[in-house]
Structure 1
Amino acid sequence: MLRARFAPELESLRDGVLAGADLRPDDVVLDVGCGTGLVGFGALQRLGPDGRVIFSDVSPELLDECRRTADGDERCSFVRAAAEDLTGVADASVDVVSTRSVLMYSDRKAAAFAEFFRVLRPGGRVSLFEPINRFAARKGPGDLFGLGRTPVDDLLTRVHDAFRRTTQEAERLIVDFDERDLLDWAVAAGFEAVRLEYRAQVDVPAEPIADWAALKQTAPNPLAPTYGEAIAAALTVDERDRLDTYMTARAASGAPTRSTMAVAFLTASRSMN
């Protein structure tokens, strides 16, 4: 059986989305914004021999990666499409639409819900997960790594400002909605039995930074530069050295970080009529 491995925290999000989808053995699942296949391959493992997964993404490179993982599994098909324009997926042709952290990158989120409704058969279900970034932006602005007060706050503030300058439009998209909007868009699209599970936390102890050098190679979202790129743009060489010295020691100490965040799981169905 095909196995695709992902980080445990991502697997937890996947399991939440798939639990909400109420999968049946012969379902056709459309995984919108599939990325590397976190949700889609998880669904495939839960379906029977007659079930199918359609992997959909705007990135041909990610679709190619999913093809390689599928390794010829005939239950898999692939469509290049955006969430708000699922051209290539026929009306009333799928049983489940799933997404994870996809709508936050769309500037036509309501249109995406209308597309989800269009492609679902009567009785079909949508199950999605979205971080509610507006919450974190208001409750914990500017704290890049959840460190609280530090001796390098002056440097971290400038790195944060560098992100704001280079990703203003991307940030607008990911903070321009909250859980109430998700509910409104689902209802407006025609869905019924709309349910939303909302989780929020402020300043909760979280995992320590394990590897500062590795963290610098990552980005807070796919539309942003890496932390290392933002640091290089914002700081002088001496300032970078001071930040590296502090952050390396912080990682070695195992001191916990703090997490301020909110997330939403939404499920809904299309009427049988």
Structure 2
Amino acid sequence: MANKHSGLQLVHLTLRVATFALFAGRAWQHLFWDAPFRALLWDKDIMESLVLFFRGGTWQEYVTSAATDQFIQYTVVGFGIFYALMAVLTLVVGSRQLAKFTPLYILSSLALVFLAFLYSKEKFFHVGQFFEYTIQFLLPLFFCYGLSNRIKKKKLLLLMKIAIAFTFTAHGLYAIGYYPQPGVFIDLFLNIFSIDEGTAKSILQIAGILDFIISITIFIPHLSAYSLIYAALWGGLTALARTLANFYIDFPLESLHQNLFETVYRLPHMLVPLAALFLTFYLNRSQLRPIRM
């Protein structure tokens, strides 16, 4: 029983750290850098009629107004403050008190869905861009409902696997070149492994195919544990790549400040597969045979 209890504690700890990293990274982004709110608020086709109805004047006055830009900046910072407060709450709240904060975690999940929509719009409504953030916008709910024991463990595991599958399938679409391959990964291979661009693109295509395979095999009992291990390793590498590919030894602090937050809020892409793996161990009542569910 002690081993089972400690195994569940490990699941909860991993979800807590993942949720904290998500909120902390997004707070860092919004408070010190930017978020793609202008992709929506400066879209004439979508916003013009609303702007003219509520604000008056002309569209040109709206988009060139300093007050408009200031409003957008305040909005970005406001979201940053909210994410920062959620990060602190996630660190200190006990599992028994989580239920009373459920509305905040639901709100944070909706905010992250909206952010994923903004990123998708910025990339010409690429569906893959939106679903790449599935782990992130569902994680607050996994944490809130999982630690407060308001969801059955098997159902929680299934939902985490679905989120992982959507996220990694979206990764795969970029890696194989269905969407433009991310330059950050090509740069990572070029800068660290000293290989040519063609080889880097081929490696990415193989990684994309593996993403698709993993998105299926995590649901196959005899393969799920091994697939989750791979997902955790690849998720960690893709998160770390954001910092490594843009780190300059001549400007270490500036490089970290400009890029580390992208790694931090992507850590759940590693930690959620790990939590799913630990939960698999727990449900199998053994940390030595994570094979059958």
Q: Structure 2-normalised TM-score?
A: 0.24
Task: Choose between structure 1 and 2: higher strand proportion.
Answer: 1
Structure ranking higher on relative contact order (CA contacts 8 Å, 6+ apart) = 2
